[in-house]
Amino acid sequence: MYPLCIRRRYDPDVAMDLSSSRLRRFLGAAVRSRAAVVVVACCVAAVCMALTGNVPLPPSLQFIQVGHWVYNTASQSTYHVDGATGQVDARASVPGVAQGSQVTQGARSGYVVERSRITEFSKSTLSVENSATPPATEEPVVLEVAGGPYLVYRNAGQIVRLGDPMATVAAGGPVSDPVATSDGTVWIHRIDNGAICELPKDATLPSCPARLPQGHDGALSVVDDQLVVIDTTADTLSPVGTDGLGDAANIGVDLRSTVQVANSTVDGRLAVADPDQGQLHLIDASGLLKDSPVVKPVSVGLPAGSRFAGPVATAHTVVLVDQTRNDVLTYDSTGALKSTKKIPGSGGASKPAAGQDGRIYVDNPDGSHVLVVDGKNGSTADVDVDAQSHRTPNPGPQTETQQQAPPPAAPPPAGAPTTASATVPGAPRGVSATVGGNGSVKVSWSAAPSNGSRITRYVVSWPGGSTTVDGSSASTTLTGLTSGKSYVISVAAENSAGRGPAASAKSVTLGQPADAPVVTANVSSGRVSVSWTAPNLHGANLVNYQVSVSGQGSRSVSGTSTTLTGLTGTVTVTVRALTKYGSGSQLTGAAGTKQVTIPAGPPTVKIVKVHGASQGGNLVVTVDANANGAAATCMATFINVNSAWVPCNGITTITFNSAFWAGSVPVKATIKNSEGTGTDSWLGDPGAGFVFLLFPTALLAGTRSKSLWKSQKGKS
């Protein structure tokens, strides 16, 4: 069994293990009196009973979890790394876990944390005991603290306590990176309203004793086991207590809102990374809190153009992971670079994790290596999990049996060559699963290590079935799977020595995306009213509709209509249905589209010519119509007679048939569309003649007399 330490309040420099001199002095003093002997015996008995699971731990007695668990993709197992010795000393098989999943531990259990599942395994039997669905699919921040561990889902504002009592607690809104004090209290900062809230280890509801000023950004940390908040807007540091924020102290550094603040101090200094400026600041936080002489902040340069995870601090070391260059950087409190260590492998973004044993652990993406940073001197050791896993047993409950030892094997003849025996293949690499049509899934992988014997076949398995393919294959397509069901598909290789460990792809959910909705769009007064039909969801549950406009973002809509504003010109509106089958992954449906043109303003019209046709007695009105981006129609009026409405945009002609006139006559043109109307008038003589319209007779007769009178009056 891996080592375990006991504490009341944890300090990495004074944490007691069972062989420490302080504990020996305590026991030596205790045995000097009979009463003390009884007390010691009772304490030891209580500890033993708690360790065996017979009674709960006393409230004042806490256990420090030593070492670190890492998930190894190739073996589909989680391994325990002893940070002090660099040895892999325990293994628990947890198949079907996505690469890069975090592993954390509590007093009696370990937990493999995926985006869609949390798997609990026993640290004593090393077997899977339970699984649960997390409250969100994002990657949580893991805190290994007393009463935990805790998973904090920042965007979703959810806190999961995996300790006793287990609970899921709503923070009320999105939060920044959490921190914890030694008594197991988790602190969070609400980024939507500035509230600073605490969740004690036995609580099921958070309380919020403090709040940053409105509009201020901030980050939390712990200084001498006291919660503090860095106000990055005001560049101040304030202690946080039950009465709210304490006096603010100027930190002497101009900070951006994007800085990354360490979880605790290193020799009293608080590490603040500013990747945008390429700087690591070390601020005398202890001096600021104690109102004592403050040492000027130290700033050192960071590699330019890199993305960083951390900083994470221990008592004497601060760690940053350069995710761009795959390096682990360690510094002391003066800003001196203690070590740079390359992270083996590629294809992922490693992060530093603070262990309760005063060390910092960095896993590579596939869990084949763990870098262990010594919290005292900053040195970094590389633990090769793959190499050690071949000699790490997977102990379980065993029954002792007695059997006669076999006789020793006869030695090989002198001079006979020795041949290494074949072993089972390694796990296939890069297993992936892609959903196709009609309930099919394509599974692909890279060849597994043969380990001395040709791979004869691959076994592809999933819940409810399996199939085999030739050893030269690197993919296969599965059919006949159930729509709406999630599958974890595993691949294992076989050779003459047997079947090797399986590797799994990420969970996939079979299902057909929704059909395209039929979209309708109407323009009025600069607004676009969009509606659509509910498409065929193929038995899935509707999540929402995504409505997007070309060149702009999208919005989520629960109904089948919405109104868009602020648009100009010609745009395409796209609507898709997002669906899910049960707790499976989200599917994006086919797109329904509609192109619309939004007018730039009301239409205008200009009469450019009025003339009589050479034959037939027709009057032709030519207009220049400007529809300003929307469909428009035009009409002409000639001596109180209206023409038909005709579509118009640009130069358009409107004709009056069988019309005769004499002298000057008035003509009016009208244009209209969804944005309004426009008119233009003309008065003149289209040509020789007299007015005679075939209909209506009375109106035309009156009009003719009036026109002749105007013509005669003009001659007199």
Q: Is the confidence at residue 66, as pLDDT, over 90?
A: no
Show me where the domains of the chain are located. Answer: 4-62, 429-501, 519-598, 604-715
Residue with the bigger pLDDT between 400 and 676: it is 676
Residue 519 · residue 572 · CB < 8 Å: no
Q: Which CATH architecture has domain 429-501?
A: Sandwich (2.60)
- Is residue 698 within a helix (H) or strand (E), and if so which, with residue range? helix 697-715
Q: Is the confidence at residue 396, as pLDDT, over 60?
A: no
Tokens describing residue 89:
């000393």
pLDDT of residue 574: 94
Mean pLDDT of 441-458: 91
Query: pLDDT category, 62, cuts 50, 70, 90?
Result: low
Quick: pLDDT tens for 150-177: 999 998 899 999 987 788 999 988 899 9
CATH superfamily of the 604-715 domain: Immunoglobulins (2.60.40.10)
Q: Is the confidence at residue 476, as pLDDT, over 50?
A: yes
Alpha-carbon distances, residue 683 vs 181, 380, 607, 638 (angstroms)? 90, 95, 10, 10
Phi, psi (degrees; rounded to nearest 5) at 225: 65, 20
pLDDT of residue 23: 39
Please check whether the domain covering 519-598 is classified as CATH 3.50.50.60.
no
Q: Is the confidence at residue 86, as pLDDT, over 70?
A: yes
Which residues face 77 on adjacent strands?
72, 93
**Which residue in 202, 143, 145 sits closest to 169, CA to CA?**
202
Instruction: State the Cα–Cα distance between residues 126 and 123, nearest whole angstrom.
Output: 5
Q: Is the confidence at residue 704, as pLDDT, over 50?
A: no
Residue 188 · residue 175 · CB < 8 Å: yes
505 CB contacts (<8 Å, ≥6 apart)?
Answer: 431, 432, 433, 443, 488, 489, 490, 491
Give residue 570's identity as a one-letter amino acid code: T
Residue with the bigger pLDDT between 303 and 8: it is 303
Quick: pLDDT tens for 634-665: 999 988 889 999 999 999 999 888 777 777 88
| Residue-averaged pLDDT of the chain | 80
Note whether 519-598 and 604-715 share their fold.
yes
DSSP class of 34: H
Tokens describing residue 460:
């592809």
Phi, psi (degrees; rounded to nearest 5) at 402: -110, 130
243-246: list long-range contacts, CB under 8 Å, 24+ apart: 243/209, 244/209, 244/210, 244/211, 245/196, 245/210, 245/211, 245/212
pLDDT of residue 674: 78
Quick: pLDDT tens for 277-291: 889 999 988 888 876
Quick: pLDDT tens for 191-201: 888 999 999 98
Instruction: State the Cα–Cα distance between residues 198 and 207, nearest whole angstrom.
Output: 6
Residue 431 · residue 448 · CB < 8 Å: no
pLDDT of residue 52: 42
Crossing angle of helices 21-30/34-51, nearest 10°?
Answer: 130
Mean pLDDT of 335-359: 87
Instruction: State the Cα–Cα distance between residues 385 and 155, nearest whole angstrom.
Output: 33
In total, the chain counts a number of residues equal to: 716
Q: Which residue is listed with tokens 């003459």?
A: 496
Q: Is the confidence at residue 102, as pLDDT, over 50?
A: yes
Mean pLDDT of 595-616: 81
Counting runs of H as helices and runs of E as strands, what totals does the chain give? 5, 60
Alpha-carbon distances, residue 475 vs 358, 449, 457, 470 (angstroms)? 45, 16, 12, 10
Mean pLDDT of 496-510: 84
Residue with the bigger pLDDT between 21 and 91: it is 91
Instruction: State the Cα–Cα distance between residues 231 and 276, nearest whole angstrom.
Output: 18
Poorest-confidence range of 29-38, 233-242, 521-530, 672-681? 29-38
Is pTM beyond 0.75? Reply is no
Q: b vs e for 199-216, b when ≥16 Cβ sit within 10 Å of the residue's Cβ?
A: bebebeebebebbbeeee
pLDDT of residue 34: 39
> What percent of the chain clears pLDDT 70, i.e. is strictly above it?
80
Residue with the bigger pLDDT between 714 and 273: it is 273
Helical ranges in 243-395 per DSSP H:
285-290, 385-389
Q: Is the confidence at residue 5, as pLDDT, over 70?
A: no
Residue with the bigger pLDDT between 285 and 568: it is 285
Instruction: State the Cα–Cα distance between residues 408 and 224, nearest whole angstrom.
Output: 63
pLDDT of residue 473: 92
